[in-house]
Amino acid sequence: MFIEPNRRREPPHLRTGWIEVICGSMFSGKTEELIRRLNRTRIAKLDVRIFKPTLDTRYHQYDIVSHNATSIPSYPVQRAKDIANLAAGSDVVGIDEAQFFDLEIIDVCTQLANDGKRVIIAGLDMDFEGKPFACMPQLMAVAEYVTKVHAICVVCGDIANYSYRLVPSKDKVLLGETDSYEARCRRCFNLGNDAGRKEWVYEDEGMH
């Protein structure tokens, strides 16, 4: 589990910010982990501002909602630079679905951290083809802390690192959930449609 650095007692002129990236495949718990960290900052009575791209309307227009139905209110914004203005005066900035923001999000997060804020940003590290997704590699490079979380492969039960697309679209951006994506391990992702569903044979016992 990520343990937060405790730097609250620094006087404001000495306060340094930092960037935390939470990344992984779909269903890996990125949003749950983001919400967990943000809730703790609210308990600490810090001024927290939370953002998501307007594009992400899957579960709710305003709230950030996990696949497990935990949620937290957010400001939907169209462009990364909108965050810079709306975050003025805050202590902590939370951002979900980072992969959908324009590349300016890297400079925006850097400036917020330079201004002494804690920036917690979650996003998909890879797209449906297993390629790095938009701003995510650069964000991981400039972050102080990177947490990679994993889902469970729905084909074989191993640790899943990939988001396998079940529908034929080749568009980079295609919103969806279990209707259009599966969490898969490396092997089952590479096998594609040939990946067989789990059917264990215990040789010792001759059981299925």
Residue positions in the annotated binding site for Zn(2+)?
153, 156, 185, 188
Interface with ligand ADP includes 41 (CB under 6 A)? no
Binder among 50, 153, 161, 162 for Zn ion (CB under 5 A): 153
**Per rule CB under 6 A, count of chain residues that contact ligand ADP:** 15
Return d(Cα 106, Cα 39) in angstroms, integer.
Answer: 24
Interface with Zn ion includes 154 (CB under 5 A)? no
Shortest separation between residue 13's beta carbon and ligand ADP, angstroms = 36
| Beta bridge pairs of residue 120 | 20, 94
4 is catalytic: no
81 and 57 Cβ atoms separated by less than 8 Å: no
81 and 108 Cβ atoms separated by less than 8 Å: yes
Binder among 19, 21, 27, 94 for ligand ADP (CB under 6 A): 27
Return d(Cα 112, Cα 115) in angstroms, integer.
Answer: 5
List phi, psi (to 5°) of 66: -85, 170
| Type of residue at 190 | N
Contacts with 39 (C-beta within 8 Å, 6 or more apart), sequence order: 72
Residues that bind ligand LXEULUCI (CB under 6 A): 26, 30-31, 58, 124, 127-128, 163, 172-176, 181
120 binds, among ligand LXEULUCI, Zn ion, ligand ADP, none (CB under 5 to 8 A by kind): none
Interface with ligand ADP includes 189 (CB under 6 A)? no
Which pair of structure tokens corresponds to residue 20?
Answer: 């935390």
Q: What is the dihedral of CA 70, 143, 128, 97, to 10 degrees?
A: 40
Return d(Cα 175, Cα 184) in angstroms, integer.
Answer: 18
In the window 113-172, what residues touch ligand ADP (CB under 6 A)?
151-152, 154
Binding segment for ligand ADP among 26-34, 46-54, 137-145, 187-195 (CB under 6 A)? Answer: 26-34
155 binds, among Zn ion, ligand ADP, ligand LXEULUCI, none (CB under 5 to 8 A by kind): Zn ion
Where along the sequence are the contacts to Zn ion (CB under 5 A)?
153, 155-156, 158, 185, 188
Catalytic residues: 97
